Structure 1
């Protein structure tokens, strides 16, 4: 029996990068999948890839109307919902606060927190009763930036820290009928996280970083030298979304390729020269 057989899974922000990889894995595990995606171009790409196998709708997670329309579409087609997976996000370009224009701070804060946090809260509110009917699950995306500095700038890190708290509180409020957990990825190959529109960086993506530079930085920092694809994170989301998870709620799994367990003093490890001399600001940022 496949992990998500007889499950209906809704993925917000599933049009590219991590969300698309998770969607592909959920399909492979037997789920019926619905995707809410804000970009019309990505919606067209999803329809071209999946055809009628996936319910795809264009919509913004910040819009109550769009989320309610998505709910109506899910109910009409499937009649139920077993899991809500949130993967949408906006990056902040790893911009230090000292270099952030003062007049841009309010709009930058609003943009990142509305997409990265409010979108999850609204989705949880609108879909929770459907999930309760099936003893369902919510899985949200935090980041290693929520646990340690320099995984992003101040606003991205703060928003991902807020996601951890959302997971904790909703797990408490929604128990025992709905399990709520999170995943905190680090590096993701071909990450499609875009920069903030409020800083004029929405045309930029993390995948614009030259691949060889990203790999070199990643391999220096990570005990596990493999840079995971979005699909490789899929099984974590699928397990937490499935009925097989009868053990965990209110937890955020750190999937960091050993980042937080790396050596910082040992001299004879690869990259030890730079470690011994003190690691400067990384040239690339992780998820």
Structure 2
């Protein structure tokens, strides 16, 4: 029996979490299509060719997404895992009284419409492989700081889109989400790590390991796995 290497597609591949996802998957023998809005000259993970395909597309542009689907089909002929990671980071947009409609619409276009378009156009490849979709949401879908309305709304919508797609696309395609908390590669103060019940802030590989687990968790669909070191379970009161 022929054993074929599994193929994953990661959007937002040039960002912090995206680079971690691509590197993690390549290291575990996956073929990876790394999609980002701008070409990433130096990486992630390996030079283009062989097990890595670079794609340049704006996930909110349906024509660009459709073109990327054809490229992946020509390159791999299958798709086992789609990770919708692309998103406009930087949660704060300023006071709601000054929030521009342009900012609101752009965040929803990339963070919410983008994953919908990716699911729409890659569903045939995923269905044939009985693959999985993992959406990268955020703990901002469940809790907020001031002035993050457009980001929180986009991630909350993506959480709802996750269970809607799970019902619509199952049983052939499972759809889940990972909601990261504070993920960084920077040096932090001891107090920044210590406030987490897990004893540290998150790293990109924490998200990548969870997404890879969901790719194989055959009885899990429509779920959101929070990866935040326990912060959403921690009661905090001002002293």
Q: What is the TM-score when the length of structure 1 is the normalising length?
A: 0.76
Structure scoring higher RCO (CA < 8 A, sep ≥ 6) equals: 1
Match of 1:157 among 142, 152, 155: 152
Q: Distance in 1 between matches of 2:72 and 2:177?
A: 23
- The CA deviation at 1:96 is 4.4
Whether the 8 Å contact between 1:144 and 1:151 is mirrored in structure 2 is: no
Rg comparison, structure with higher value: 1
Whether the 8 Å contact between 1:218 and 1:225 is mirrored in structure 2 is: no
Match of 2:79 among 78, 81, 88: 81
Q: Distance in 1 between matches of 2:137 and 2:146?
A: 12
Match of 2:204 among 230, 234, 248: 230
Seen in structure 2, the aligned counterparts of structure 1 residues 17 and 114 have a Cα distance that, compared at 3 Å, is same
**Residue 12 of structure 1: aligned partner:** 11
**Residue 70 of structure 2: aligned partner:** 72
Gaps of 5+ in 2: none
- The CA deviation at 1:171 is 0.3
Compute the RMSD of aligned alpha carbons.
2.1
- The CA deviation at 1:57 is 1.4
5 Å-filtered alignment, 1:50-69, equals 50-52=47-49, 53-69=51-67
Which structure: greater helix fraction?
1
Whether the 8 Å contact between 1:142 and 1:163 is mirrored in structure 2 is: yes
- The CA deviation at 1:129 is 1.1
Gaps of 5+ in 1: 191-206, 265-274, 278-287
Q: Distance in 2 between matches of 1:158 and 1:218?
A: 26
Q: Distance in 1 between matches of 2:24 and 2:45?
A: 17
Seen in structure 2, the aligned counterparts of structure 1 residues 48 and 14 have a Cα distance that, compared at 3 Å, is closer
State the Cα deviation string for residues 213-254 of structure 1 (Å, max 9, x = none): xx456335311221222123211111212xx31110000101
Q: Distance in 2 between matches of 1:27 and 1:105?
A: 40
Q: Distance in 1 between matches of 2:61 and 2:238?
A: 49
- Deviation beyond 4 Å, 4+ runs, structure 1: none
Q: Distance in 2 between matches of 1:24 and 1:75?
A: 22
Whether the 8 Å contact between 2:182 and 2:202 is mirrored in structure 1 is: yes
Whether the 8 Å contact between 1:37 and 1:58 is mirrored in structure 2 is: yes
Match of 1:246 among 198, 212, 218: 218
**Count of residues in Structure 1 that have an aligned counterpart in Structure 2:** 235
Q: Distance in 1 between matches of 2:147 and 2:213?
A: 27
